[in-house]
Amino acid sequence: MTMVATPPPPPLPTRQRTQIPSGGLSPMLSRLAAERATGVLMREGGLLHLADGQVVYAESPATPGLDALLIARGALDEDGWREAVAEAGTRHRVGRFLVDSGLISEGALELCHLGALYDAAYFVLGPSSAPARFRYGEAHWLGPVRPVPVAGVERETVRRRELLHRIWPDPATDEAPLLRTGHPVVTSVTPRQGEVLDRIDGVRTAADISRALGRPAFHTLVDVRRLAAAGAVTARPVPVPGPAPSPFPALGAAPGVGPGPVPQAPSPPHEAPRAAPTDLSSPFADPHITLLKRLRDALEAL
């Protein structure tokens, strides 16, 4: 996916058709599903465990795991979980053991497991620059609880991206430490949003807050974007220069401004950065492209 031209000075990354393929997020994953592979897919964002080509478990550092979710609010105690892993881990039957020994009901386990699976998969299948790897091997120790087809997980991941984008198109709050703006919030803050808001301290990220609450991280992203849309929360500015002050006006200004293809390179600190968005708006209104463009600008500014 990364097509960064390295040596020559100004050639821009090509980006004629930058869009999420509707078929699948990862060709490798589709292939593994087709060959009914068992093992673990390792991507930058975390791990996706497959059994017979279906997703049986997902884990990501960005979000609490099944154990954390169950233990956080007392659905299960830590000893119970440890016992189950010790007793049934090697047989890959931890889920079954939890239900059979009466520690948790089947319905509760399925609900929590599915929630955690789609949640972690969202982060595992997030944009990544590193290549994915797959290790064939044993199924996950949890054992089959409710396997999900790969295509379903991918479709849901794309849908979730669109959902977040619809709520508030700026993804800055997804990963950065969060700040309360202190602006009076016009819309009412819901109880779940209130729990998130209470934990925003300029240091914690959405992932930290999810862990503190024992809540799937995507749920926190949704609430944080809603709060951002309401003006209550913002991403703490990080040392990386933002997208606006692009030091290379040629990038933004080139296509629209001058019809003459003359190398009018040393365009002075004009209003180039301001002009860029409007000039480019029509062909590049696609959110993925704007995001990629901002990423590119930030990288080039380094």
Partner 1 sequence: MPGIDECLLEAMRLPGARGAAVVDWTSGLALGTVGDAPGGDHETTAAEAAELARLAAEHRAFAPEDDADWSDDACPVEDLIIANRDSYHLLRFVPTTFDSSVFLHLWLARAEGNLALARIRLGEMAGRLVLG
- Nearest distance, CB of residue 285 and partner 1, angstroms: 24
Q: How far is the CB of 70 from partner 1 (least distance, A)?
A: 6
Q: Which is nearer to partner 1, 209 or 272 (CB)?
A: 209
- Is 156 a residue that touches partner 1 (CB under 8 A)? yes
The contacts of residue 31 (CB under 8 Å, 6+ apart) are none
DSSP 20: -
**CB contact at 8 A, 30 and 150:** yes
Residue 153 or 280: the one with the smaller Cβ distance to partner 1 is 153
Question: Does 158 help bind partner 1 (rule: CB under 8 A)?
Answer: no
Of positions 37, 69, 206, 227, contacts partner 1 by CB under 8 A: 69
The count of residues interacting with partner 1 (CB under 8 A) is 36
CA distance 202 to 180: 7
Q: What are the strands, taking DSSP E only, across 126-246?
A: 133-136, 148-149, 178-180, 233-235
Handedness of CA 132, 1, 122, 224 (dihedral sign): positive
48 is a contact residue toward partner 1 (CB under 8 A): no
Beta strands 233-235 and 133-136: pairing type? Answer: unpaired
Residues between 163 and 182 that touch partner 1 (CB under 8 A): 163
Minimum distance of partner 1 from residue 79's CB (angstroms): 16
Q: Which stretch binds partner 1 (CB under 8 A): 16-24, 113-121, 228-236, 276-284?
A: 113-121
- The answer to whether the Cα torsion of 226, 232, 233, 239 is positive or negative is positive
Q: Which of 7, 11, 182, 191 binds partner 1 (CB under 8 A)?
A: 191
Joined together, the tokens standing for residue 20 give 């999420």
Beta pairing partners, 149: 54
State yes or no: residue 276 binds partner 1 (CB under 8 A). Answer: no
Least Å distance between CB 266 and partner 1? 50
DSSP state of 172: G
Give the binding site for partner 1 (CB under 8 A): 69-70, 72-75, 99, 102, 104-108, 110-112, 114-115, 118, 146, 155-156, 159-160, 163, 188, 190-192, 213-216, 218-219, 222
